[in-house]
């Protein structure tokens, strides 16, 4: 790719089916069965959590979901996993590489687990929250009746406090900064729910042995550029007049390419396109790229544009199997949610990890060890309603 679109989806189901069979034989059927098996195992976690079971490591959580099939994928690339499952190299290069570039800005050398779950979910349809994802957070805070201190945590330190004469208790002192200035509070349990890296989180763990900072791994930069403009279809191999509506273009590996993907953005509640907007061809486009796009590159992608917004992220772990997954328990009663992103970075994974930490911390606090790291849950819960 770079100048040609080598596989274009049609709006017609039958035409798509014939094209897929023609180019890729039975690979898509294989993918369907492979993804079904993966999802069946993945969905087990919701049943375990419904019955309040928790796990003290990400590896034991994955093992409870899918046994060795899941944990072994952390030590292989998605390329190796899919080749072992019988997919052809052409299918992997044409279909899986673009999905990995789109999802993680990386290639098929990412670990097999993140590759598999992100690729298996490519057909399942995406949901959007009208008003923005931030409403999920404010809704949850409201429902939990949580007391929120709106600020930035700067450090965590263990402190020994005397209660009665002769009695001591270990607590964590959290230092933070709010609009009103610095503050500190003492807590029994601390949950870190942001990725930790030297450029992310920026929380100092004071006086811990071994040092918690040693767990940090590198994150992958991803630049997101939103452009309101008219796309240059001929750059994408569709000469003018271009007779099909370009809405998502994914890319295969090509060192000369400066974008990972470009997609038209639609509002959560679609508004009917007016005749004027149809005629003008103006839309909002979202581009993923490894570096900030230059004016020259934007002019290659667009015939014209009138607004550009750029956001640079340290977005996801830079995967490199065999993967070393950070612990969930960073120290006694300090829990880390986002370590699961080293198995697979996705909102759903972090939600599962957050619920796991809530259950685990509760069970450890109350000594309910029969709900931690239990074996054969899939079998044991079969008979439960
Ligand atoms: C560009 C991009 C696209 C993505 N696309 C998808 C997608 O399509 N689907 C998907 O499932 N996932 C996607 N992800 C991944 C997804 O966003 C993450 O997995 C998810 O946001 C992790 O949720 P979290 O709440 O654990 O952490 P975050 O969403 O990172 O939230 C952490 C919060 O902690 C705050 N914080 C950080 N440091 C401190 C501090 N010291 N004190 C106080 N607060 C602090 C941050 O400001 C932030 O609000 C994408 C990520 C990026 C960057």
Choose the residue to mutate in 346, 353, 356 for probing ligand 1, maximizing ligand atoms within 8 Å of C-beta. Answer: 346
The answer, yes or no, to whether any atom of ligand 1 lies below 6 A from the CB of 350, is yes
Q: Is the pLDDT at 193 greater than 60, yes or no?
A: yes
Q: Confidence class of residue 36 from pLDDT cuts 50, 70 and 90?
A: very high
Percent of the chain having pLDDT more than 90?
Answer: 67
Q: Is the pLDDT at 80 greater than 70, yes or no?
A: yes
Q: What is the pTM of this model?
A: 0.92
Q: How far apart are CA 77 and CA 100, in angstroms?
A: 12
Q: In angstroms, what is the span from residue 126 Cα to ligand 1's centroid?
A: 18
Q: How far apart are CA 254 and CA 1, in angstroms?
A: 7
Query: CA nearest 21: which of 32, 35, 36, 34?
Result: 32
Cβ–Cβ < 8 Å for 288, 301: no
Q: How far apart are CA 172 and CA 335, in angstroms?
A: 12
**Residue 200 DSSP symbol:** B
The answer, yes or no, to whether any atom of ligand 1 lies below 6 A from the CB of 385, is no
Cβ-in-10-Å burial (0-12, 13-18, 19+) of 249 comes to buried
Task: Provide the pLDDT for residue 243.
Answer: 65
Q: Confidence class of residue 215 from pLDDT cuts 50, 70 and 90?
A: confident
Q: In angstroms, what is the span from residue 199 Cα to ligand 1's centroid?
A: 14
Task: Provide the pLDDT for residue 383.
Answer: 72
Least confident range of 182-191, 195-204, 295-304: 195-204
Task: Provide the pLDDT for residue 357.
Answer: 98
Q: How far apart are CA 105 and CA 355, in angstroms?
A: 28
Instruction: Provide the b/e sequence for 354-380 (b: ≥16 CB within 10 Å).
Output: bbbbbbbbebbeeeeeebebbeebeee
Most confident of the ranges 80-84, 136-140, 278-282 = 80-84
Q: Counting atoms of ligand 1 from 1, which one is nearest the CA of 341?
A: 19
Q: Counting atoms of ligand 1 from 1, which one is nearest the CA of 353?
A: 26
Residue whose Cα lies nearest atom 19 of ligand 1: it is 346
Cβ-in-10-Å burial (0-12, 13-18, 19+) of 220 comes to middle
Q: How many helices (H) and strands (E) does the chain have?
A: 13, 12
Choose the residue to mutate in 194, 318, 338, 343 for probing ligand 1, maximizing ligand atoms within 8 Å of C-beta. Answer: 194
Q: Is the pLDDT at 275 greater than 60, yes or no?
A: no
Average pLDDT of the chain, as a whole number: 90
Task: Provide the pLDDT for residue 90.
Answer: 94
Q: How far apart are CA 261 and CA 103, in angstroms?
A: 9
Query: CA nearest 208: which of 313, 361, 333, 340?
Result: 333
Per residue in 126-183, pLDDT (tens digit) is 778 888 888 999 999 999 999 999 999 999 999 988 887 788 899 999 999 999 999 9
Residue whose Cα lies nearest atom 21 of ligand 1: it is 347
The answer, yes or no, to whether any atom of ligand 1 lies below 6 A from the CB of 337, is yes
Q: Counting atoms of ligand 1 from 1, which one is nearest the CA of 348?
A: 11
Q: Counting atoms of ligand 1 from 1, which one is nearest the CA of 154?
A: 41
In a 3-state reduction of DSSP, which class is residue 290? coil
Query: CA nearest 208: which of 329, 317, 325, 324?
Result: 329
Q: Is the pLDDT at 11 greater than 90, yes or no?
A: no
Per residue in 88-107, pLDDT (tens digit) is 999 999 999 999 999 999 99
Q: Count of CB atoms within 10 A of residue 68's CB?
A: 9
Choose the residue to mutate in 345, 356, 358 for probing ligand 1, maximizing ligand atoms within 8 Å of C-beta. Answer: 345
Q: Could you please report the per-residue DSSP string of 331-346?
A: ETTEEESGGGGGT--S
Cβ–Cβ < 8 Å for 120, 73: no
In a 3-state reduction of DSSP, which class is residue 304? strand
Name which residue leads in pLDDT, 239 or 29: 29
Residue whose Cα lies nearest atom 48 of ligand 1: it is 194
Q: Counting atoms of ligand 1 from 1, which one is nearest the CA of 350?
A: 26
Q: Counting atoms of ligand 1 from 1, which one is nearest the CA of 349?
A: 19
Residue whose Cα lies nearest atom 34 of ligand 1: it is 194
Residue whose Cα lies nearest atom 51 of ligand 1: it is 315
Task: Provide the pLDDT for residue 242.
Answer: 75
Q: How far apart are CA 217 and CA 308, in angstroms?
A: 32
Task: Provide the pLDDT for residue 2.
Answer: 53
Residue whose Cα lies nearest atom 39 of ligand 1: it is 201
Per residue in 38-79, pLDDT (tens digit) is 999 999 999 999 999 999 999 999 999 999 999 999 999 999
Domain boundaries of the chain, sorted by first residue:
25-123+190-196+323-385, 219-269+277-317
Q: Is the pLDDT at 113 greater than 90, yes or no?
A: yes
Q: Confidence class of residue 120 from pLDDT cuts 50, 70 and 90?
A: confident
The answer, yes or no, to whether any atom of ligand 1 lies below 6 A from the CB of 345, is yes
Q: In angstroms, what is the span from residue 348 Cα to ligand 1's centroid?
A: 11
The answer, yes or no, to whether any atom of ligand 1 lies below 6 A from the CB of 102, is no
Percent of the chain having pLDDT more than 70?
Answer: 93
Q: Is the pLDDT at 1 greater than 60, yes or no?
A: no
Between the two ends of the chain, the Cα-to-Cα distance in Å is 52
Residue whose Cα lies nearest atom 53 of ligand 1: it is 315
Q: How far apart are CA 9 and CA 28, in angstroms?
A: 14
């Amino acid at each position: 790719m770079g100048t040609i679109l080598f596989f274009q989806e049609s709006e017609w189901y039958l035409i798509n089916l014939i094209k897929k069979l023609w180019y890729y034989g039975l690979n898509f059927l294989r993918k369907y069965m492979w993804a079904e098996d993966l999802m069946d195992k993945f969905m087990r976690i919701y049943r375990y959590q419904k019955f309040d079971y928790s796990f003290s490591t990400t590896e034991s959580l994955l093992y409870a979901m899918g046994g060795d099939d899941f944990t072994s994928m952390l030590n292989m690339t998605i390329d190796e996993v899919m080749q072992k499952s019988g997919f052809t190299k052409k299918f992997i290069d044409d279909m899986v590489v673009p999905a990995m570039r789109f999802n993680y800005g990386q290639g098929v050398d990412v670990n097999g687990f993140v590759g598999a779950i992100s690729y298996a979910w490519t057909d399942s349809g995406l949901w959007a929250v009208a008003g923005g994802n931030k409403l999920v957070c404010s809704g949850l805070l409201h429902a939990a009746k949580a007391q929120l201190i709106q600020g930035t945590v700067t450090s965590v330190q263990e402190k020994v406090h005397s209660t009665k004469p002769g009695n001591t208790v270990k607590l964590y002192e959290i230092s933070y900064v709010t609009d009103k200035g610095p503050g500190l509070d003492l807590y029994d349990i601390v949950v870190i729910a942001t990725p930790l890296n030297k450029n992310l989180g920026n929380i100092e763990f004071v006086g811990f042995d071994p040092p918690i900072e040693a767990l940090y791994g590198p994150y992958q930069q991803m630049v997101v550029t939103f452009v309101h403009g008219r796309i240059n279809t001929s750059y994408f191999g569709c000469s003018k007049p271009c007779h099909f509506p370009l809405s998502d273009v994914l890319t295969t590996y090509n060192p000369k390419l400066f974008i990972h993907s470009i997609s038209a953005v639609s509002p959560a509640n679609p508004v009917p396109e007016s005749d004027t907007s149809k005629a003008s061809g103006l839309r909002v486009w979202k581009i993923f790229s490894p570096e900030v796009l230059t004016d020259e590159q934007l002019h290659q992608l667009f015939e014209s544009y009138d607004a550009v917004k750029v956001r640079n992220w340290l977005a996801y772990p830079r995967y490199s199997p065999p993967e070393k997954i950070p612990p969930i328990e960073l120290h006694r009663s300090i829990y880390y949610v986002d370590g699961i992103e080293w198995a697979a970075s996705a909102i759903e994974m972090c939600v599962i990890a957050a619920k796991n930490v809530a259950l685990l911390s509760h069970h450890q606090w109350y000594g309910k060890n029969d709900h931690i790291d239990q074996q054969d849950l899939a079998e044991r819960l079969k008979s439960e309603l």
